[in-house]
Structure 1
Amino acid sequence: MKKNYPIGIQSFEEIRKGNYCYIDKTALVYKLAESGKYYFLSRPRRFGKSLLISTLEAYFQGRKELFEGLSMGKLEKEWTEYPILHLDLNAQKYDTPDSLYDMLNDMLCGWESRYGTRPSETSLSLRFQGIIQRAAEKTGRNVVILIDEYDKPMLQVIGNDELMTDYRNTLKAFYGVMKSCDKYIKFALLTGVTKFSKVSVFSDLNNLMDISMDNRFASLCGITEEELYRDFKEDIIELGEKNGMTEKETKATLKEMYDGYHFTEKSEDIYNPFSLLNTFAQMRFGSYWFETGTPTFLVELLKHSRYNLYRFTEEMADADSLESIDTMYINPVPILYQSGYLTIKGYDKEFRAYYLGFPNKEVEEGFTRFLLPCYAHLNTGNSSFEIMSFVKDIRKGDVNAFLQRLQSFFSDTPYELARDLELHYQNVLFIVFKLLGFYTQAEYHTSNGRIDMVVKTDKYIYVMEFKLDGTAEEALQQIHDKQYALPFASDSRKLYKIGVNFSEKMRGIEKWLIEEN
């Protein structure tokens, strides 16, 4: 029977009543509810945070009928109904000083119509405090507080320091109420993409347990490989048949495209749920998560912090830095991790440091394509066309066309990038190298003032040396001196040795030399 895939549906009740497929996470939800009181969870967008909130809401409403056949149905015996304050900050656009106030005021007015108000409660935080207390007193049961996308207002105003400070101060006071109302609260969970550290938003709420990097709850959002193979067995077979692939090939492609997220050093592989559901619904592989939108502020942070994109291949971060984005203007790595563009690839126990990298091909290729027009000048303005032309030039051995296209990437270099031309040319070449690597074999090395690159196709091998403010002759001579072409001496493919010089004065490629073997 064809499954109903809950794409875009974040209501647990709708999923259960509509007979949509549901990966049973309720044993973990039960564990969460029973083992603690105040929680914070950070996960990338479209990873199921809102569904988790909705599941908890149904559980604390005592909706036993929705959990029949699930793990929770066997685990919970009492099914008590608690008063619930569910704040969803996802729906509003936050771009003015009044936007956040209007959103919070609207939610508070709704709760006050149910639980009452007092004239003395004049501020947002005082009103929230009064609502929590009266909800507990009127119902005789402590309150459950569920806050979805707590950080949405601040993420939307990154770059606007005045509004950021205003929002942060408002939310700090608002969320801080929960600590003073502890005796009236049964359970609280805040979710978001990023974590603004305890010195800012959470400084008045320092009793939160951050489970974002907690092994116990690593698979609370997302789909594990075990869950994928167990609950989507027929879907995998059908996907393979529709795309001319064996079951083994289909599983390998799913893993390459959508797997690879790790939220702790010991976490099992987590697949992107949004991409998996879309793949099975449409029966084709695509960049579903990435195409829902990459925030341009991430690129601005990379540029502002003078980030060398080559570091994506060897990035490291300590545990403390990954848990906060407060230094994002000088170090964009934590927000890239928390947003899902980088993930944990390994762990150095001695130094408590994480090795980071792209989680999978969907993110790696999508993000690299997204970066190209942000760093390079495109004559056509069309990234896909430029990449396709690049690859075609390489495959047919048209070296001059390839280099002319590369040269055009550096025309009209923006002034703010031209101030650090070496970093700029390294970043553009890294993007080009990564994009070529999706269609050819490519190796890339960088050190001060120079880059060497090897690109292989079925007919050609290109050995390239790039210099800054040297000469093309010196670059070509270095290929000879360092014997870069020696590993290919017995290879039947045609070999090109290419020396390229970048000129700071010209703000681009000044000259190239080609030697054929």
Structure 2
Amino acid sequence: MEDTLKKLPIGIQTFSAIREDNYVYIDKTPLVHQMVNSAGRFFLSRPRRFGKSLLVDTLKELFEGNKALFKGLYIEDKWDFSKTHPVIHLNFANGVIESRAELDQAIYNLLRENQLRLNIECAQFSLHDPAGCLAQLIQLAAQHYGQKVVVLVDEYDKPILDNIDQPELAATMREGLKNIYSVLKAQDAHLRFVFMTGVTKFSKVSLFSGMNQLEDITLDRRFGAICGYTQDDLETDFAEHLAGVDWAKLKDWYNGYQFLGEPVYNPFDILLFINKNKTYRNYWFETGNPSFLLKLFRKQRYFLPDLSNLEVGEDVLDSFDVEQINPITLLFQAGYLTIAKTSEKRQRLRFHLKVPNFEVQQALADHFASLYSQTQSEQRLHRQDSLFDAFESADFPAIQQQIESLFAAIPWRNFTQNDLPDAEGYYASVLYAWLCSINATIIPEDITHHDQADITIKLGDQIYVTEIKLDKSENYQPQTPNPALAQIQAKHCAQKYLAEQQSGKQIHQLGLVFNKHARNLVQMDWQSF
């Protein structure tokens, strides 16, 4: 049967290659048709490896009138292929650009490629005036072909993101790109269609010089599935490839990306999952490096448990700039967070965010755990196993020993020139990261009808209702009663879980006291029901 299966388009972003060589293709042309039916200027943000480049190439082939490639697809009999348009394609996906000079050279090369492909030569083509050349190229193409021009920009933001950890250099890249993109507003009369795509969304003011006509379809319900695979796509086009798969497990691992439309899978995950004999691994996450993002969280002293219950306004998801980077905005746009649901308050739309699936949850937790405690991967695995065993078996001496060992292993340099040990949230964040990394269910700020506990931890048959206190005395002496445990008991925070004892769950109240000078756990007491 394998010989009859269509091939998997792993790493193939060229529409013609997929259509001409018996690869699986998910027909996105119903959504493409909605876009191209208007003389629109569209912007789409999607995480990396989500099929953006294939979508751009599909648009290119459509406007160039390559009808044979669309045979059997939705748009075949709905588009006038006899009317073609010159296409200018700017693709910043290749290579890493590390200076303004390299950016100028890359733009020069892209403009040269487009001139050769369109058989048009700019009269004054200079490395130092790319904007002038692009403007002239648009005008000449419209004149030469007798049709308005289509401009497609792929990975429009990559030169900025490649240098996002160097704000001054990133700002220089932004100015170089702004110089190019500003041309599109001035040449609007010569344009039939504009489509720009990338991972992030920078503000219009900072990058697009007043291109107010640019319609952002990133969170447009109509186009929620324009990139990515839906559940129906997998059960139809990939039915033979995924025969016998555990659909619930597959969905838990890789589905869940939500852009206000139907939830979708990242195509890269599904293609690698099938290719690797249906082995569950962190395929997508391993292709990127979120280290800058995670360091930003630590620098801003972000309270990690808040990631479990995020509610933000449109402005947080909408855009950012290199001088003001909100880590939540970047986590969302990069695909590490997605929309769980929306609500409205005071006539304003609110977005409730979550980690999209198990792959991202597991990998993100591992990265946070390593970052917050400077632990190498081989050490992390051993510590995770020990922490898991202690909490799963409710071995309290072992739990105490593991927490003390964890904080004792954090290098002294982590606390130089900062006040991290002074913040109760720091200790909660480290614990949260490590407990998430062992796949425990964490409920931060667990609200009851009396009050709330700092963190409730669920692992196996154990439920730990936990309070964290930070003591700032120079020579801490254990107190009776333990102030953290006493607070839980006074709040009756564990009562809401007592009914779960009937299903075999064991309920524990856990009081943890940390000390800023010891930078460690100095007292732990518990009460079990």
TM-score norm. by structure 2 comes to: 0.87
Separation in 2 of the partners of 1:141 and 1:495?
72
Relative distance call for 1:80 and 1:388 in structure 2 (3 A) is farther
Count of aligned positions: 502
Letter in structure 2 aligned against 1:3: K
Q: Secondary structure in 1 aligned to 2:484?
A: helix
Matched, 1:6 2:9: yes
Q: How does 1:449-460 map to 2 (within 5 A)?
A: 451-458=454-461
Q: Secondary structure in 2 aligned to 1:171?
A: helix
Residue in structure 2 matching 1:316, options 311, 322, 326: 311
Letter in structure 2 aligned against 1:38: R
Give the equivalent residue in structure 1 for 2:297: 302
Identity rate, percent = 34
- Per-residue CA deviation, residues 271-318 of structure 1 (Å, 9 max, x unaligned), is 222212222222222221112123211112222333211111211121
Letter in structure 1 aligned against 2:423: L
Give the equivalent residue in structure 1 for 2:490: 481
Relative distance call for 1:443 and 1:319 in structure 2 (3 A) is closer
Matched, 1:271 2:268: no
Shift of 1:181: 1.4
Relative distance call for 1:318 and 1:477 in structure 2 (3 A) is closer
Give the equivalent residue in structure 2 for 1:367: 364
Residue in structure 2 matching 1:34, options 30, 33, 37: 37
Residue in structure 2 matching 1:357, options 347, 354, 359: 354
Residue in structure 1 matching 2:231, options 220, 225, 228: 225
Give the equivalent residue in structure 2 for 1:507: 519
Matched, 1:167 2:173: yes
Q: Is the 8 A contact 2:511 2:525 kept in 1?
A: yes
Residue in structure 2 matching 1:237, options 221, 232, 243: 243
Residue in structure 2 matching 1:200, options 206, 219, 225: 206
Shift of 1:162: 2.0
Separation in 2 of the partners of 1:381 and 1:418?
26
Give the equivalent residue in structure 2 for 1:245: none
Matched, 1:23 2:19: no
Residue in structure 2 matching 1:49, options 38, 48, 52: 52
Shift of 1:394: 2.5
Separation in 2 of the partners of 1:167 and 1:254?
40
Matched, 1:445 2:445: yes
Shift of 1:230: 2.3
Relative distance call for 1:302 and 1:461 in structure 2 (3 A) is closer
Q: Secondary structure in 2 aligned to 1:199?
A: helix
Relative distance call for 1:41 and 1:276 in structure 2 (3 A) is same
Gaps of 5+ in 2: 473-477
Give the equivalent residue in structure 1 for 2:123: 118
Q: Which moved more, 1:68-77 or 1:403-412?
A: 403-412
Residue in structure 2 matching 1:86, options 49, 65, 89: 89
Shift of 1:253: 1.4
Matched, 1:376 2:373: yes
Matched, 1:256 2:219: no
* RMSD value, Cα: 2.7
Separation in 2 of the partners of 1:387 and 1:397?
15
Separation in 2 of the partners of 1:183 and 1:494?
70
Shift of 1:100: 0.8
Q: Which moved more, 1:480-489 or 1:306-315?
A: 480-489
Q: Secondary structure in 2 aligned to 1:317?
A: strand
Letter in structure 2 aligned against 1:161: P
Gaps of 5+ in 1: 241-249
Q: How does 1:175-190 map to 2 (within 5 A)?
A: 175-190=181-196
Letter in structure 2 aligned against 1:445: E
- Per-residue CA deviation, residues 246-289 of structure 1 (Å, 9 max, x unaligned), is xxxx221122112222212xx12222222122222222222211
Give the equivalent residue in structure 2 for 1:467: 469
Q: Which moved more, 1:321-330 or 1:503-512?
A: 321-330
Separation in 1 of the partners of 2:165 and 2:452?
32
Separation in 1 of the partners of 2:157 and 2:325?
20
Letter in structure 2 aligned against 1:21: V
Separation in 2 of the partners of 1:488 and 1:57?
61
Relative distance call for 1:162 and 1:483 in structure 2 (3 A) is closer
Relative distance call for 1:63 and 1:256 in structure 2 (3 A) is same
Shift of 1:150: 0.3
Shift of 1:34: 1.3
TM-score norm. by structure 1 comes to: 0.89
Q: Secondary structure in 1 aligned to 2:90?
A: strand
